[in-house]
Amino acid sequence: MTAHAVTARPLTVFDAAMLAEMYAATFIAPWDQTWSENSFAEVLAMPGGRGWLLVADGAPIGFLLARFTLDEGEILLTGIMPDAQRRGHGRRLMEIVIVSARDAGVVRLFLEHAAGNDAAAQLYGRLGFVEVGRRAAYYRGAAGQRADAIARALSLDEKPPV
């Protein structure tokens, strides 16, 4: 397998349709799909709304949406296309948002993920995010199943983990 150059670029509202397609491919059932093209456009158009896209060989392979407000930031959504998962792309996007947040004066960065998403939990833990709360039965699946949301935070005024 040949190594492919992966580049990152900022997202704009003009990427909303592509992001909706990526979301549909990335967030496969059983969880409800709640992000539409308008949802992406609204986040990217709002003050403090930011996002990044990873591209390999001209094809989008991952994205991250965040919102920075004063000294706090929130990672809203991260998605890696199924055939590009488990290759470090999620970590790369997280590193980009952490550096951008620090540069913007953010001192605490938040995110949440579904309980049972062990890959996400491991990645976020390695990056220094600590569990700060849990929302019981927050996520709802198409078949009626529920999963807790695990809230995590990263203090950006401390030295990043190695």
- DSSP β-bridge partners for residue 135: 149
Check: CB of residue 66 under 8 Å from CB of residue 24: no
Structural domain count of the chain: 1
Q: Residues 72-127: pLDDT tens digits?
A: 999 999 999 999 988 999 999 999 999 999 999 999 999 999 898 898 999 999 99
161 belongs to a structural domain: no
CATH of the domain at 17: 3.40.630.30
State which residues form the domain around 100: 6-155
109 belongs to a structural domain: yes
Report pLDDT for 116: 87
In the chain, % of residues over pLDDT 90: 72
62 belongs to a structural domain: yes
40 belongs to a structural domain: yes
Report pLDDT for 159: 59
Catalytic status, residue 112: yes
Catalytic status, residue 124: yes
162 belongs to a structural domain: no
Catalytic residue among 23, 74, 124, 139: 124
Catalytic residue among 21, 112, 131, 139: 112
65 belongs to a structural domain: yes
CB crowding 12-41: b at 16 or more within 10 Å, else e: eeebbeebbebbeebeeeeeeeebebebbb
Q: List the structure tokens of 120.
A: 């996400």
Mean pLDDT along residues 68-72: 96
- The yes-or-no verdict on residue 68 having pLDDT over 90 is yes
Q: Rounded to two decimals, what is the model's pTM?
A: 0.88
- Give residue for tokens 């990044």: 52
